[in-house]
Chains A and B, each alone.
Chain A
Amino acid sequence: MKKGSPAAAWLLAMTCAGAAASESTELDYFAELPTVLTVTRLAQPLDETPGAVTLIDRATLRRSGARELADVLRLAPGYLAGGYNGANPTAAYHAPIDDFGIRNLVLVDGRPVYSAYSLGGTARGMMGVLLEDIERVEVLRGSNSAAYGANAMFGVINIVTRNAADTQGAEVAVTRGAGAINDHYARLGWGGAAGSFRLSAGRRSDSGYGGAHDDKAVRQLHLRADLRPAADRELMFSAGAVEFSGGEGFARSVGNPERTADWRNIHFDAQWRRQVAATEALKLTASYDEETLRDAFVHAFDPSVIVSSSGTGRRFNLEFQHQRGLSDRLRVVWGAGYKYEDVVSPPLYHTARPVALHEERLFGNLEWRLHSRWLINAGGFAARHSRTGSYFAPRLMANYLVRPGHALRFGLTGATRTPTLFELAGDVRFYPKNADPLTNPDFWRLAALGRPYRPFESSGQVDAETLRSVEMGYFGHLRDWGMTLDVRLFDERLSRQIVTRTRSAAEVLAGRGVVDFVNAGAFSTSGLEYQLRWKPNDGAELWLNQAFQNTRRNNGEDGPFAPARATTLAWFQKLPQGFDLVAIFQTLGALSWQKRQDALPSRQRLDLRLAKRFLLGNTRAEAAVAVQAANGSQPAHQGDSGFALERRAYASLRFEL
């Protein structure tokens, strides 16, 4: 008796059903696969990085309730969040020697966002990214000029936006609250495995600090494409437009009256990456930024004088990078780059022609596993600046693995900040016609002589600032306790600091500008900071950051100074039923961003956020309420400005489809 046909039919049916449902077989278990996460693709482990790093991920960004990136940086030890007004939030590491954020490098997907335009500030550039689009923020604490060149003097804030493949679908969010807080966000993502796209738009506005003329509105639109033309090739392209308008100035001020400044930026960024072999990769990056500032007012004492800082700045950046493992113990990264910046601003540079600079760059780092316990990073960044000549920023860092989970780090670095175009070539001239000798004797005297009044005239002699730092660090992963500890002991000495010099009355009357820029300042700071992260159980996470530092200045007692002590305690708690509670408490010692008499007293700030996540069909939603400065309003910026960071509550609603 043959049972052939029914069995064969059954089997045929099974096989077809199997094929349709794609049944698993032993081949799934034994098939060989290509290496995807190659060495060159992997981020360095924190115990092997040549410096201290604070990672702030997307979930933390969202859960912190922060509306500005500068606020998030309070979660990095040693960082001071501030801003000369509420419309220009910024942060500085260790040294509050400028309130524009010019001494740390801010990168968005590798694209530097400091302003080429005037003072190299990063506040507006940092606002030109939507928080919802960010995957993580890597804060490299300490000098990183050896890897990133000038500007990476007091660290790098490396903002990595989300891959378009991770933001498929739609998301909308709205936040409303006290202080005219009115934020909107919308995102649409589409595409497949070979290419993904994201279009995101946002608007953010608030009334800034209390008591300040600093209402702010930022509107922006971003497009990002992530393409994979082949398994070993990736192409990222992004473009964006940002429109900012913010209040400036003070009531009853003659030289800086209340007004609104408008700033626009468009940018393009393209990155091509090729995995040549498992231990070799090539990367080519090009970016372009263009910014336009409109900020002008009529001088109160002479209506014929328009005080303006309007103009346009551009930057073009090109970089090639090659990463290669030479052996199991030796890995090299080297690259070359070119940077071009120009500004067209007759009011600031007294010429209608572009004022430009360019820099050719060459960099490299050798990572050498000298011994199973010793890892050496030696590298440097050499550049030729078209106006200030060559510079070299070296770094030598040794990481010693005491035992698994405990590493010590010793390092020496040199860093540089090259002068901004304004510091190099600023030339501001007013031609007073109706000057009143009683209200403005300077104007009047110069007008009488037929000479312009020149508040700024750079002699162009200013050179790069340099920073030498020595550090010792410890990174511990106390696995059984669910704890990581990162300690940094540092001594940082800034020399040839660029400061303003006021020319003598005789020189001014002779037609020279009042203010020049010179390398005359110095600033040094030493201290200790640590970040402790502890997950006592699944639902809770505690961050404790502390920084203790001692600053010294050589340019008199009226310079800025850093807080001797700063503590941030952040508690992230997941609660049942999709609730989430976050409390961030910071206590900051007295500090001054400007002169000693502008010092801010010691302050405490508590921010709270309670959120609830829920599902509406297939839509994920989150509702949240947050209170900033829940413990009460407190002075902001300069002590004598009367500005206050007010207690404000706001609520947000988010839907993700």
Chain B
Amino acid sequence: MSKMPVIIFGAFLTFLFSWMGLVAYPYFQLGRFTPFVAEDTGDISPPPLSGMAVMGQRVYASSGCIYCHSQQVRQVGYGSDLERGWGARPTVARDYMRQNPAFLGTMRTGPDLSNIGARQPSIDWHHQHLYQPAVVSPGSIMPSFRYLYRLQKIEGQRSANAIDLLPPDAPPDGYEVVPTYEAEALVAYLISLNRNYPLPEAPEPPQ
């Protein structure tokens, strides 16, 4: 019976250590990054986001994209992320320093988005895909985000940012589909997702 107090004391200490190891330590080690500045070019990595992309992060959060998409390219030996072309190198903690919240994600009902801006650099593609994902990617079960767009009558000339859609979602004659500000912000954010900049702690793995 006298071992019991020892067990309890040990339990308490370990619980305390877990707090230090998984909460306090990460704050100090992974929560105070500054960006890396390349000596020769002056490039800042990770690059700061445009204002629209920052707003786009909020739309990403508000729409719950993390429940189908991850944003972490895993290391060599942990899955086929690199072989699938989801990134030139694994992602590291500093890559997330500008993200709030960090969109690591835990499901891959859809592909990893860490570098979607590099894979799909076209704004038009993103708008079309958000509106009609099953048409752009046959077999996809991604829902349509049509609620981020407006169907409106064309007045005079077609709007500059009206998007092209394939049937069956193409607007009827005289009408156009125009993204709301939220849709444009979201796409600006998606285009910004490109972590192929080099970081000293994350060298590109040999091919």
Bound pair (A, B) = no
